[in-house]
Structure 1
Amino acid sequence: MATIRKLGAKWQCQVRKKGHPPRTQSFSTRADAAQWGRELEAQIDRGQFLPPPVHGEILAALLDRYCAEVSPTKRSGKSDLGRARTIKQTLGAYSLPALSPAVLAEYRNMRLRAVGPQTVIHELNLISRALRHAVSEWGVALAAGIPTALVRKPQKPPGRTRRVTETEMAAIGRASHSAVLGLVIRFAVETAMRRGEIAGLCWEHVDLQRRTAHLPRTKTDVPRTVPLSSGAIAVLKGIGPREAGLVFGLAADSITQAFDRSSARARNLYVGEGGASPGYLTDIRFHDLRHEATSRLFERGLAMMEVAAITGHKTLSMLQRYTHLRAEDLAKKLG
């Protein structure tokens, strides 16, 4: 159905039909907007509607369309919107043919003066995904090919290797004002699940008899079933199994906020009691629990393919940085 509203000196018409991407156009008069809406709806009803090509459009238009039609189907959808806004501030006015590797390389260098390498990599990847989708799905022809393919990506920063000790986890749990956080921490280190996966875990996807937790939605968009250790089962039984609903009842952002506050509180308590170790309860992130859990899986002797099946890493190379085993554990294997 067509919706018409006045925006400044223009009249905007938006047509939304189930099964079709929303279309928006601005006009000088309300009558023109209404006529365009009626004609577009008629074309859709007759099966004659095709989204317009973006051959001559600028990068801003391409990113807008990608974020409207493609990003909502991906877990990275919200992140795409923010990155697109940043990209459009500098590159939005460039036509697609003018978006050369040299232009993108200059953008990369400019952004590296303001943000970290990983942020720039994410932005270049979004441009690449949008261009590739436009070529394969929207009929866009780029005579020179995908320009991002010729642009050197910034070197990724070294992955974090922070190992979280049992005493640190216990201290953070005790410092929390919520009893749930301690359970979340224990569950995270027992399962290697991501923050969002823990927050979204529902009782209907937990099988205590088979000792599994099914994750229909993951960061990689690939569902997986996680085996539950005895420790993870104990956490779930301690909460009290229910037939449906969220297991922990905390949003992903709430988990991070509670963890950060409790970590700082635990550190202050430690120092106040005379603790002198500079590294104890410092530089800890919730995601470090996933690293700790993954490292423990390797320390238990699991093969890399087995670990990948549990953690959901897309490539085995992504697990290389998780194998920083404690020296004493390696010494025991050496005999």
Structure 2
Amino acid sequence: MASYFIEPRKRANGGISYRCSVRVKKDRRIIHQESKTFRNDKMANAWGTKRVAYINEFGIPGESSARVITIGELIDLYIAEPRIWDGTGRTKRYVIQLLRDCDISMVRTDALSAQHLITHCKNRGEAGAKPTTVYHDISYLRAVMKLGGPVFGVKCNVDVIAEAMPVLVKMRLVGRSQRRTRRPTQLELDKLREGLAKRQSHRAAHIPFVDILDFSILTCMRIGEVCALRWDDLDKERRLITVRNRKDPRKKEGNHMFVPLLGGSMAIIEKQPVKGDLIFPVCPRSVSAGFQRVRNELGIKDLRYHDLRREGATRLFEMGYHIEEVIQVTGHRNFNMLWNVYQQINPGSLRDLAKE
């Protein structure tokens, strides 16, 4: 028999919404669940009553046509679908392929339970994976199973993952990564420039490491964005450049942005020889690898190339730019993400601004 329950949820604007969840259990196991969010509890009650009556009379929607396979077989289907797999990022690909080789891949898609998830997380932890790493396992498994029904016609008990997540967190089997606050010191940056200059002076070297390092800080761009900049997208008169397909959680393809070239970033571009379409015609991985080797040789600890993006944004705040202005440079869509950077500003810098 189907049943439903309603839970109030606090929205970002401070208001309250109501999520109605309809469940069907068999042998104490949830075999179907669906939910919908409403503005008030009356609408949620009306929808829940209607869905329960429908399921009790006509059965679970799509139950007769859905097939059951193992999670491993579902992953194979996911990987074989180019419209999905071709747009999957490197980290997500790695995790999904790893899941294919884990014991959880032998579980049926309709039989996945909290116990299966707990066992998987324990096994991964015992193998040396940290809770933040295991969190990606569960997150990407959910992404695969959410597409099981609509794309592949596979019956998946995906809702159990959301239900099990609080338990996994409480047991410290999974956990979110801590926000990084690492900023390079001026001494570290001077050493890095010196080491990178030495590296790029080799006869066979072709990467302008120092220019790219400084440009990354001044523009707050990711290294992949820097290495994809095109001469055709440069507007010298207005000191703007188009950053194509900028990273966005909802949209990446076609997400182009005009970015102002602040400080000495324009001068760095003008120093580069024109050798094709790209301003910095180098592989971003090669830049990161060279940075890491020099950093390790210098004994600089816990500094990543991506930290330069945060350093650049923090400097803009320290110079007095408002968050609405900084977001035009960094490309953040979420003000809260940028606010976390703002909180890392040196208090002394704020004091100096107040004196102006």
Tell me: CA distance 1:215–1:65, structure 2 relative to 1, closer, same or farther (3 Å).
farther
Cα 1:54–1:211 change in 2 (3 A) is: farther
Paired residue total: 267
Corresponding residue number in structure 1 for 2:311? 292
1:101 aligned to 102, 108, 114, which one?
A: 114
Q: Which residue of 1 aligns with 2:221?
A: 193
CA contact (8 A) 1:71 1:80 kept: no
The answer to which structure, 1 or 2, has the higher relative contact order (CA under 8 A, 6+ apart) is: 1
Question: Is 1:230 aligned to residue 263 of structure 2?
Answer: yes
CA RMSD of aligned residues (A): 2.5
User: In structure 2, how many angstroms separate the alpha carbons of the residues matched to 1:261 and 1:145?
Assistant: 43
Residue 194 of structure 1 and its aligned partner are, at CA, apart by: 0.8
| Other-structure match for 2:233 | 205
Cα offsets for 1:134-189 (capped at 9, x unmatched): 233334444x5522222325332322211123442232122121161000100100
Compute the TM-score of the two structures, normalised by the length of structure 2.
0.67
Identical positions, percent: 24
In structure 2, the residue matched to 1:37 is none
Q: Is the counterpart of residue 301 in structure 1 residue 320 in structure 2?
A: yes
* Shift of residue 56, structure 1, vs aligned partner: 1.3
The structure-2 alpha-carbon separation of the partners of 1:55 and 1:79, relative to structure 1 and needing over 3 Å to count, comes to farther
**8 A Cα contact 2:209 2:287, kept in partner:** yes
Structure 1 residue 115, shift from structure 2 partner = 1.4
Deviations 1:299-330 (A, max 9, x none): 23333344334223343332343120112112
Q: Which residue of 2 aligns with 1:64?
A: 76
Structure 1 residues not aligned, in runs of 5+ = 1-52, 268-280
| Cα distance, 1:96 vs structure 2 | 0.5
TM-score relative to the length of structure 1: 0.71
Aligned mates of 1:92, 1:126 — CA distance in 2: 13
Cα offsets for 1:191-213 (capped at 9, x unmatched)? 11112112222222222222222
- The 8 Å contact of residues 108 and 120 in structure 1, kept in 2 or not, is answered as yes
- Higher mean alpha-carbon deviation, 177-186 vs 67-76, is at 67-76
Letter aligned with residue 112 of structure 1: G
Gaps of 5+ in 2: 1-64, 202-207
Displacement of 1:241 after TM fit? 5.0
Q: Mark the CA change 1:296 to 1:54 in structure 2 (over 3 Å): closer, same or farther.
A: farther
Give the deviation of 1:104 after TM superposition.
1.6
Q: How does 1:114-125 map to 2 (within 5 A)?
A: 114-125=128-139
One-letter identity of the residue aligned with 1:138: F
CA deviations over 1:219-276 (Å, ceiling 9, x no partner):
332433322113110110111456x422222212111111112223445xxxxxxxxx
CA shift, 1:75, in A, is: 5.0
Instruction: Kindly indicate whether residue 330 of structure 2 is the aligned counterpart of residue 311 of structure 1.
Output: yes
Structure 1 residue 84, shift from structure 2 partner: 1.7
Q: Distance in 1 between matches of 2:150 and 2:179?
A: 34
CA distance in 2, matches of 1:60, 1:54: 17
